[in-house]
Amino acid sequence: MSGLPIFLQPALARALALGRAHAVLLSGPAGLGQLELARALAKAWLCETQAAGQPACGHCPSCHLVEQGSHPDLRWLMPAALRVELGFEEAPGEGKAKPSKEIRIDEVRGLQSFTQSTSGRGQAKVLAIHPAEAMNTVAANALLKTLEEPGSVLRFVLSCGAPEELLPTIRSRCQTLSLSVPEPALALAWLREQGLGEADAAALLRLAGGRPGQALQWARAGLGADRLAELPQLMLRGELGGWEALGPTLLVDLLGRLAHDQLRRSHGQEPLYFSAAHLPPPTASARLQRWATELREARAKGEHPLVPGLWMESLAAQAQRALKSDGRPAAADKRPALHSTL
């Protein structure tokens, strides 16, 4: 199982126990490692020395080809934007169309000769689709026919972070493997293997709702336990300087989690993502609700803010308005907070 994160190994064993299933759907919230799991499953199916139902040997020519990304019997179907993000292809140059976030029909049609040919190395042939919900309806319908009549050697592994967005006809032709958040001890051990310190791993895993892949993404963007601990106080002062390096998506996601936690606390519940010790007393839930809505709108604009500096300023002002006990982004609020009156 070389290379597969330890927290995914129980899931791989369950996927292999499905036996000769011709299509497996790896289903669970995004950020659980679906891509790595799909690759490990494809590798096991294509391995030339291991018995069926066993993980890949990791040493045979087929295993090496999967690792190098050049196996003739393995094809990946993923959105162009994701291929660029993962480094499988170059970003388009200036003035070119932005890479699509959808899997399009021409990409599905382009697989025809692959799905209809015989296996190059005489084992199985595997089509991996990640994430399957990125297929638009036309593309999904085009795939359906192949999924219904796969021939004798073709197998599918589909990963999916939002099963409700998949066509039911696609879902029903797959054996579903439900993925859940891994054991915290396994997730933490893996994060430490990736070079995170104990405190950072714990804080980021909590922030990510237990999803280790996402915790690592936060870490690589420069977040750690210390910065997380100071974020709520910075927001109270309306200061977001230096946080733009996270990028709009992660930043808005982070603030969304802060809003979510404060909303929970305004209803007397424990926070999920942040430590209560670092949070200011919650303000009125209507105000926090409004902030959550503002953040959803900010997410839509954030990918291409017209004026990034202004966009950041408005994020900071919204956060301060929502978190400060008097509701006004006043610079000098010297009064003691009277939370009981809210």
Residues that bind Zn ion (CB under 5 A): 47, 56-57, 60, 63
**Minimal distance in Å, beta carbon 119 to Zn ion?**
15
**Does a cis peptide bond (omega within 30 degrees of 0) precede residue 55?**
no
| Identity of the residue, 51 or 300, whose beta carbon is nearer to Zn ion in the bound complex | 51
Report the residue number, 63 or 322, with the smaller CB distance to Zn ion. Answer: 63
To the nearest 10°, the Cα dihedral for 281, 283, 288, 289? 120
State which residue, 64 or 220, has the beta carbon closest to Zn ion. Answer: 64
* Smaller CB separation from Zn ion, 73 or 107: 73
Let me know: does 62 contact 71? Beta carbons within 8 Å.
Answer: yes
Token pair, residue 173, equals 């032709």
- Least distance to Zn ion from the beta carbon of 3, Å? 12
Could you give the CA distance from residue 160 to residue 129 in angstroms, rounded to a whole number?
9
Residue 321: CB minimum distance to Zn ion, A: 58
123 or 289: CB nearest Zn ion: 123
As measured in angstroms, the least distance from the Cβ of 21 to Zn ion is 20
Q: Which is nearer to Zn ion, 71 or 211 (CB)?
A: 71
DSSP 245-269: GG-HHHHHHHHHHHHHHHHHHHTTP
Minimum CB separation of residue 45 from Zn ion in Å reads: 10
Q: Which residues contact 269 (CB under 8 A, 6 or more apart)?
A: none
Q: For residue 59, give Cα distances in angstroms to 55, 69, 269.
A: 12, 15, 51
CB of 20 to Zn ion, least distance (A): 18
Q: Is 143 exposed, middle or buried (0-12, 13-18, 19+ CB in 10 A)?
A: buried
